[in-house]
Structure 1
């Protein structure tokens, strides 16, 4: 057990070092042990799950509909099947209270993860936690990591840019994201995740002003990874898109087989 703990701690420290401004860590999000093994074989530095993909692979909707025990079981299968550091998307932490978040993060660490994504959006798209509320939850996650003796990478996701269409993204929204970034860093966050942000000017400004590394999610409308690196991004992820691409390829293959084409 001691060796496993030391190995997990080393992976966590290594994962932190991968977040370098202008030399971003690129994460192709996976959903199970098989997809994790495939991405590991491509030369990836680390493995990240995406909650949407994991839920879809289990026939569920995103939004903490997948039972937490299944999240843990899936995580354990992933961490036991590969050698790379693993970070897991736990949505809002599967609990509104500080105590629930702490206990859930402890279990996540026990199952082998060295990083988490935790968001400030309320379940079922009911709005967002206040900065104060989310900071308490982030403090609880950091407290859990400290108790476990693992330097967990806490990727604090803010949904500010998903709450507004890209055309309405502006300086005020970026300033609000900066304020959250500063508060979340004080609460123990290791990075800031800004899904939905697409404008290169705002991405660069956020990277310039954020006290913690910035994670951008790539979509067809956003800059290339190389461009994002020049803007100061430290982490690039792909969310549900790998899963969607794989399922589309499977659908085409199935149609071809079944129609005899």
Structure 2
């Protein structure tokens, strides 16, 4: 069993602060993260692209390689839809991630039929390489089923994805404790949820049986807002404002990347 897969054994809740480049990944590792995951939105924005499959696959893999270069903990890459419709091409793309040292991926079903997604999982499994496939279902995030039928639809997809070879189930947008309990009980896979308004506390999530908690795109979204405010202040007055006093010292940032 891989080191990354062991982190999903349920003994404690795996907190994943989602990074968007090598610098943020190294920072989060230095703060004690047991593993690093990327946010596809944050990666896309940092590279100058919109989220939702607009990022060129070569750019996605280059960012992953650069992150893997600077961290020692396992890396999981938010790989959107695999950047292809054809399952075999998705598998070839994933092979490139494996080659640069990636331990896991998120693969999402938001814009694809579940049967096609299952085909992508099977194609990746045919690589016979050790990579953790965390299948993100957008039933809640994109409202792919009526509210009263969302748990049932998540579990229907979970069965399909598990049979195809998925290692985990990611259900962003779910936040009601009873619905989380039902998904955990019925999925047959380690369940991942995302920081979301109304989500139970980390302690309660662990008690509910959740294996993994993701920060999603919240951290880069907040930083974009802060950067915009400071830049506007500078453009207007020549001063970046009071937040500059809270800036991380130059020496501390340098120390993250200077190898002893």
TM-score of the two chains, using structure 1 as the length reference: 0.86
Structure 2 residue 110 is the aligned partner of structure 1 residue 139: no
Counterparts of 1:237-252 in structure 2 under 5 Å? 237-252=214-229
Q: CA RMSD in A?
A: 1.8
Measured after TM superposition, the shift of residue 231 of structure 1 is 1.4
Measured after TM superposition, the shift of residue 143 of structure 1 is 1.5
Rounded to whole Å, the distance in 1 between the matches of 2:202 and 2:225 is 23
Corresponding residue for residue 156 of structure 1: 135
Unmatched segments (≥5 aa) in structure 1: 1-11, 123-127
Contact 1:22 1:230 in 2 (8 A): no
Counterparts of 1:171-182 in structure 2 under 5 Å? 172-182=149-159
* Structure with max Cα Rg: 2
Rounded to whole Å, the distance in 2 between the matches of 1:120 and 1:165 is 10
Measured after TM superposition, the shift of residue 229 of structure 1 is 1.3
Unmatched segments (≥5 aa) in structure 2: 242-260
Rounded to whole Å, the distance in 2 between the matches of 1:164 and 1:73 is 32
Contact 2:138 2:144 in 1 (8 A): no
TM-score of the two chains, using structure 2 as the length reference: 0.86
Q: How many residues align?
A: 238
Measured after TM superposition, the shift of residue 132 of structure 1 is 2.5
Contact 1:26 1:235 in 2 (8 A): yes
Counterparts of 1:47-126 in structure 2 under 5 Å? 47-122=36-111
| Larger relative contact order, structure 1 or 2 (CA cutoff 8 Å, min sep 6) | 1
Measured after TM superposition, the shift of residue 22 of structure 1 is 6.4
Q: Deviations over 1:69-110 (max 9, x none)?
A: 111111111001111100001100111111111111111111
